[in-house]
Amino acid sequence: MDLTLRGKNAVVTGGGSNIGRSIVLTLAEEGANVAVFDVDEETANNVIREAREAGSTGELSVQRTDVTDADQVGHSVRRVIEELGQIHVLINGVGWDQTSPFIGQPAEFHERVVSINYMGPVNLMRAVVPHMVENGYGRVVSLGSDAGRAGEYHEAVYAGAKAGVIALSKSLAKEVGRQNVTFNVVCPGLTIAEPESAGRISMWSQEALEYWTPERRHSAARRYALKRLGTPQDVANVVVFLASDRCNFVTGQVWSVSGGYTMM
């Protein structure tokens, strides 16, 4: 199926590792021009190199961007618009958390979780959505989490931030739908990075990866209807589909890509 993305211009935050990496590679495979916003330039550049080696002919670039810094976000967005002329697709892919009990977590940790997982998408939308409205076209897909739909053990503040992304996306879908700008959210289940795609400063540290032994992965998979854990490509497939014009009558929706972990 032609997803109509050839020649479209996309911004992907957190595109250097794990799910974001697969989204970038899939967009590039579909012929899109992709700007990767990431604080880890080395990892992001590796993804760009991988996309080119796979045969991508689109314009691919990296903008070192901390999504929690509104000024940096604005600068990077303006630069992409100058270089490509228009942003058609925004993928809010950045996410971060460390699981632990809510009681005892310091305020600084809570602020960081909210800053990355909620204010990051807010900053990107504030910079990009007016441009999309002006041009009468836009596709915004944000990564949520099933934790944001149903709550999750030891992820209270993260779940709250992701729930905020869902409500933000639904509200904007109603606000600017008449300008042909759509907003959808994709909620992955547990998606463990492979070592080569984890990124140096990803939440998937070496310690986190070592925790998820084959035995623990097997135990976790038993909670999923499909009896397996998801892969980054499983998530990327749905994200890129929602970013395409094959979904031009879909907005304000939340898609769980979690093998039936939640059903709602």
* Catalytic residue set: 158
- 258 near 187, Cβ under 8 Å? yes
Return the closest-CA partner of residue 146 out of 244, 230, 246, 240. 230
Instruction: Give the phi and the psi of residue 103 in degrees, each rounded to 5.
Output: -65, 125
DSSP the chain: ---S-TT-EEEEETTTSHHHHHHHHHHHHTT-EEEEEES-HHHHHHHHHHHHHTT--S-EEEEE--TT-HHHHHHHHHHHHHHHS---EEEE---------STT--HHHHHHHHIIIIIHHHHHHHHHHHHHHHHT-EEEEEE--HHHHH--TT-HHHHHHHHHHHHHHHHHHHHHGGGTEEEEEEEE---PPPGGGS-TTSSS-HHHHHHS-HHHHHHHHTTSTTSS---HHHHHHHHHHHTSGGGTT--SEEEEESTTS---
